């Protein structure tokens, strides 16, 4: 793991920055794909992890959550509107339909997160759109943001390309996601930790990409 900011670590993976998993304090944020179980358990083996929180219930973010929570004996938390999907091992598609979440096991959610909640010294922000219960984690004191897939730092399918919004067909409500992106850009985060892509320490670049989104 590499430390990105005080108490903020990014797990190593291959290819680097493709599917990101973070540790904030003693809380694991996201759990990648089902196949990421091994790298998570290996990399957190020398520390005490007390909880596991999601940015959103997509199969590339909670794929290994069930296995990791069972193995470590820790509770799972996610945004309130994503609880049902996680507990059924599914994800919310267009029109609110529950779709299969390949490789992701169903797991009970111990705590439904809402705007203003605190997780490992970070404030929970409701940032819906890419999933109904998508949340971001924000620490005002040093302006660190974990934004999940509100914006992609890099296209996770092509493993290249610049900062962009996720493919709109992957978001049940792309317009809400753009509103969430504008809200996050207005925070002028000094460090953005994406679900996909390298950490970004350039608030102007982040806000410029968000400003190019339609409907602003
Ligand atoms: Zn993703």
Which domains does the chain carry? 2-211 (3.60.15.10)
Given a cut of 80, whether residue 216 has pLDDT beyond it is no
Give the pLDDT confidence of 146-185 residue by residue, as tens digits: 999 999 999 998 887 789 999 999 999 999 999 999 999 9
pLDDT of residue 94: 81
Q: Give CA–CA dist 155/8, Å, rounded.
A: 23
Could you list which residues have their CB under 5 Å from ion ligand 1? 60, 149, 195
The first and second tokens of residue 130, run together, are 């890419």
- Yes or no: say if 105 and 114 are a contact pair by the CB < 8 Å rule: no
* Bridge partners of residue 146, in order along the sequence: 137, 193
Q: Over 33-69, what HEC string results?
A: CHHHHHHHHHHCCCCCCCEEECCCCCCCCCCCHHHHH
Q: Give CA–CA dist 212/12, Å, rounded.
A: 31
In angstroms, what is the span from residue 55 Cα to ligand 1's centroid? 9
pLDDT of residue 40: 98
In angstroms, what is the span from residue 177 Cα to ligand 1's centroid? 13
In angstroms, what is the span from residue 156 Cα to ligand 1's centroid? 7
pLDDT of residue 144: 98
pLDDT of residue 161: 79
The H or E element containing residue 69 is helix 65-72
Q: What is the mean pLDDT of the chain?
A: 96
The first and second tokens of residue 144, run together, are 């660190």
Give the pLDDT confidence of 45-101 residue by residue, as tens digits: 999 999 999 999 999 999 999 999 999 999 999 999 999 999 999 999 888 899 999
pLDDT of residue 3: 98
User: What share of the chain in percent tops pLDDT 90?
Assistant: 94
Per DSSP, the three-state class of 161 is coil
Give the pLDDT confidence of 124-137 residue by residue, as tens digits: 999 999 999 999 99
> 51-53 and 27-29 as β-strands: parallel, antiparallel, unpaired?
parallel
Residues 6+ apart with CB under 8 A from 215: 175, 178
Half-sphere exposure of 199 (CA within 13 A, CB side): 19
């Amino acid at each position: 793991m590499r430390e990105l900011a005080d108490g903020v670590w990014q797990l190593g993976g291959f290819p680097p920055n493709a599917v990101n998993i973070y540790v904030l304090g003693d809380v694991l944020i996201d759990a990648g794909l089902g196949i990421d179980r091994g790298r998570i358990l290996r990399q957190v083996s020398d520390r005490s992890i007390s909880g596991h929180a999601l940015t959103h219930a997509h199969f590339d973010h909670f794929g290994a959550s069930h296995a990791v929570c069972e193995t470590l004996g820790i509770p799972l938390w996610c945004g309130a509107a994503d609880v049902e999907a996680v507990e059924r091992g599914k994800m919310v598609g267009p029109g609110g339909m529950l779709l299969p979440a390949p490789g992701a096991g169903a797991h009970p959610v111990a705590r439904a997160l809402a705007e203003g909640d605190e997780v490992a010294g970070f404030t929970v922000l409701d940032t819906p759109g890419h999933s109904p219960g998508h949340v971001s984690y924000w620490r005002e004191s040093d302006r660190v943001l974990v934004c999940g897939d509100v914006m992609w730092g890099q296209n996770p399918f092509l493993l290249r390309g610049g900062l962009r919004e996720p493919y709109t067909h992957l978001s049940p409500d792309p317009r809400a996601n753009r509103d969430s992106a504008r809200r996050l850009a207005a925070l002028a985060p000094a460090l953005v930790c994406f679900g996909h892509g390298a950490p970004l320490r350039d608030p102007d670049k982040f806000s410029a990409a968000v400003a190019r989104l339609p409907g602003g």
